[in-house]
Amino acid sequence: MMAQTTAQRQAAWRARRATAGKKGNGERRLDMWVSTEVDLALVRLAHRYALTKRQMLERLIVRADDAIIRRLDPDSEQWDSYFDATR
């Protein structure tokens, strides 16, 4: 087999992201700017809990989402509205 170029290796890695992560359900790329205040706070939080910034952000988001879901009745309009939210 011939050696892959850097571009080919990168393309293969990106293609595998669709099935990466827990349970093979994929990962998605976030590309955004945040304020310096937010970035510095994220750095402090991650350092305090010995996590990467990615791990800290994932933990914060999942905990906030779980807190909302626990308060919703699965048979309610609020549940439907929450899970049908548009991006």
Does 1 have pLDDT greater than 70?
Answer: no
Q: Which is higher by pLDDT, 76 or 43?
A: 43
**Residue 45 buriedness (CB in 10 A; 0-12 / 13-18 / 19+):** middle
Distance of CA 16 to the CA centre of its chain: 16
**Predicted confidence band at 87 (pLDDT cuts at 50, 70, 90)?**
very low
| Per-residue pLDDT tens digits for 33-44 | 999 999 999 999
| Per-residue pLDDT tens digits for 51-67 | 999 999 999 999 999 99
| Amino acid 86: pLDDT | 58
Please tell me the pTM assigned to this model: 0.73
Q: Which is higher by pLDDT, 27 or 71?
A: 71
Residue 49 in contact with residue 56, Cβ under 8 Å?
A: yes
